């Protein structure tokens, strides 16, 4: 019998000075029964992509407050693709102006969640949009 668990990487690319939001989201995922790998502050896109590969996560949730999302998100997506991990669902949270959302989606983010996002909604969206992966 298979006991698959959904695994999520919660990562903070860039130079943000705090991670309260990321921790709140990590906890919401845990409380929904998901396994959350949390990697802490100041991660480079390469570190995030490598962690996503090693941890074989279904989802990479990137929390960005610094305003550098238009650079960081495509960078993470590119690194993941280069490693063959293009089946990871990419989510972005943090302080993201509405006008940047289309560009992030264009870059590969499946969902973008601003400061007012509801935690249940984030978890629901995540579970509804998982991509099936083969061995």
Partner 1 sequence: MDLVDRLLDGDRRALARAITLTENEDPLAGDLAAAVFPHTGRARTLGVTGPPGVGKSTVVDGLVHLERATGRRVGVVAVDPTSPFSGGAILGDRIRMRRGASDPGVFIRSLATRGHLGGLSWHTGSVVRLLDAAGFDTILIETVGAGQAEVEIMRYAVTTIVILVPGLGDEVQAIKAGILEIADILVVNKADREGADGLVRELEATLELGAGSAASWKPPVLKTVATADRGLDAVLAAAHDHYLYLESSGSLQARLERELNAEVRGLVRDLAGRAALDWARSAGAWDSALSEVLARRTDPRSAAAGLVTRFLGRVQRKSRP
User: How many helices (H) and strands (E) in the chain?
Assistant: 5, 5
Q: Is the dihedral of CA 26, 82, 125, 67 positive or negative?
A: positive
Closest CB 100 distance from partner 1, rounded Å: 27
- Alpha carbons within 13 angstroms on the beta-carbon side of residue 134 total 0
C-beta closer to partner 1: residue 53 or 68: 53
Strand spans (E) along the chain: 7-11, 35-38, 59-64, 89-94, 111-113
C-beta closer to partner 1: residue 47 or 100: 47
Buried b / exposed e across 7-29, counting CB within 10 Å, b at 16+? bbbbbbbbebeebebbeebbebb
Closest CB 129 distance from partner 1, rounded Å: 18
Closest CB 15 distance from partner 1, rounded Å: 15
Q: Which residues bind partner 1 (CB under 8 A)?
A: 1-5, 7, 26-27, 29-40, 43-44, 46-47, 50-51, 53-56, 83-85, 135
Closest CB 45 distance from partner 1, rounded Å: 10
C-beta closer to partner 1: residue 31 or 120: 31
């Amino acid at each position: 019998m298979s006991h698959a668990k959904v695994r999520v990487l919660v990562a903070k690319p860039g130079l943000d000075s705090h991670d309260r939001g990321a921790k709140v989201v990590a906890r919401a995922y845990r409380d929904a029964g998901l396994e959350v790998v949390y990697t802490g502050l100041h991660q480079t896109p390469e570190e995030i992509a490598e962690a996503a590969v090693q941890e074989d996560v279904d989802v990479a949730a990137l929390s960005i407050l610094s305003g550098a999302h238009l650079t960081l998100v495509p960078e993470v997506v590119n690194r993941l693709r280069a490693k063959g991990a293009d089946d990871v669902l990419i989510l972005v949270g943090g302080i993201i102006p509405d006008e940047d959302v289309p560009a992030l989606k264009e870059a590969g983010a499946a969902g973008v969640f601003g400061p007012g996002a509801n935690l249940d909604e984030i978890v629901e969206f995540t579970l509804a949009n998982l991509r099936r992966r083969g061995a």
